Amino acid sequence: MWHQHSTLVPVRLVAVLEYFVKLPASTAAPAIPFGILIAALLPFSFGYFLSQLLRAVNAVVAPNLQTDIGLTASELGLLTGAYLAAFACFQLPLGILLDRYGPRRVQFALLLVAAMGAMLFAVGTNVAMLTAARALIGIGFAGGLMASFKAVALWVPEARRALANAYVMSLGGLGLLCATAPMEWVVGRFGWRTAFVGLVAVTVGAALLILLAVPERRGGAPGGTLGAQIRATGEILTDRVFWALAPLLGTTAGMHIAIQTLWAGPWFRDVAGLDRGTAATQLFWMAAAFVFGIFATGTVTDRFLRRGVSELDVMAGFIALFLAAQACIIIDIVPLRLVAWMTFGMVGQAAILAYPWLSRHFGVARTGRANSAMNLMIFASAFFIQYAVGLIIDTYPRLPSGGFGPAAYQAAFGLFFVIQVLALVWFLSQRPRLLPAKG
């Protein structure tokens, strides 16, 4: 059933979106120079590519970790979520560093930290070592997307930032593709430890690429003391407009990260009854949908912005589609399984459409801090959801195969579905507060 539809669904998705992508623009917008895309943004996209790959790789290597280390579902959730927890905790200092020192130098240093974490993971022999390694990797990749968004704010005209952000994320999202069937092949051929050693070398290469290839640009960097910059971060976190957005962005993007980077794989095996190789293939198609979806949502939003429609309203529409996909997964409508999971992957990160709005609201000089503060909400939520899903699933009896039944996943996914719906209701009630954004 799944394979019969695998080639038809992307074509249908393209047809559905084609109408929106071709909407006529009412006003002209400045082009994004090709040189900026290559020299200023592509190296950051490579760093984000690795961030996505390392974030999602445990969905494939989980059986190896369970066999070699003897992990329970909750331990697997905690170990994998350590990346997200450390990632989230570093977001506020990250924002200050990006605004103070620029994305080039900050991302170079952080990628070296990520490489050290990957090496520790490669030699880890117990839960504590692997958890510490995942946390170190999380800190190292904490700037993967935020450094890219800061570079976009510095280099790209305001009217095209939503589209530029989508370019960065769609290119970086290829890391999710590599974390599925390709990584399954590498792990099967060379072992998971050797695979991580290879990732160490690639990460060091990415750090050097950013240091040597990206031009330095400090425009929009804030003045004042470090204390003043920290106080400005506090002002962002107490802004009522920030909290009108944070619950929706945190819960929806957090749910997508928590499920796609870990629990989708076990769901395919336990509920859909797929073998390991086929489950990895389904994760590959979900990742492909993510890459396509990021590019498509950015393109659609770019068109609507030029017609006077706010990116926040476009974002709300995509999030409603994301919730509909989750409902189909939770109920488990078998004929719609592939469509639901592809849609889940495609629009799960619609929250990124709010980042250009945040940059406009708080100003370019505070872009790093505003975006990283929101990223804190997203990844703290992702960590909590990823760990909590494991705790809930562990309360159900194991199947003879060693997995868990559909009821376990329905309970875990269903709880956070309700929370997301409540967050959407809150956002809609606060929508008047968000118009217009401050210049």
Give the helix ranges, DSSP H, for 179-275: 181-190, 192-213, 226-237, 240-258, 264-270
Q: Where are the domains of the chain?
A: 2-434
Mean pLDDT within 19-38: 51
- Could you tell me which of 202, 168, 160, 63 has the C-alpha nearest to residue 359? 160
Structure tokens at 251: 């819960």
In three-state secondary structure terms, 124 is coil
Model confidence at 162: pLDDT above 50: yes
Please tell me the predicted confidence (pLDDT) of residue 34. Answer: 59
Model confidence at 61: pLDDT above 80: yes
Cβ–Cβ < 8 Å for 80, 104: no
Mean pLDDT within 394-401: 88
Model confidence at 319: pLDDT above 90: yes
Helix %, strand %, coil % of the chain (to 5): 80, 0, 20
pLDDT digits (tens, 9 = 90+) for 102-112: 888 999 999 99
Q: CA 110 → CA 71, 87, 404, distances in Å?
A: 29, 11, 38
- Could you tell me which of 149, 215, 150 has the C-alpha nearest to residue 365? 150
| pTM of structure | 0.73
Please tell me the predicted confidence (pLDDT) of residue 217. Answer: 64
Cβ–Cβ < 8 Å for 92, 383: no
The C-alpha atoms of residue 170 and residue 291 are separated, in whole angstroms, by: 5
| The total number of residues written for the chain in this structure | 439
Please tell me the predicted confidence (pLDDT) of residue 222. Answer: 52
Model confidence at 123: pLDDT above 80: yes
Q: Crossing angle, helix 161-172 and helix 354-362, to 10 degrees? A: 130
Cβ–Cβ < 8 Å for 40, 373: no
CATH of domain 2-434: 1.20.1250.20
Q: Letter for the amino acid at 367? A: T
- Could you tell me which of 47, 25, 396 has the C-alpha nearest to residue 211? 47
Mean pLDDT within 224-250: 82
Cβ–Cβ < 8 Å for 73, 404: yes
Name which residue leads in pLDDT, 321 or 171: 321
| Least confident range of 48-62, 151-165, 280-294 | 151-165
Structure tokens at 163: 């589209």
- Secondary structure letter of residue 416 according to DSSP: H
The pLDDT confidence band at residue 11, using thresholds 50, 70 and 90, is very low
Structure tokens at 216: 């330095």
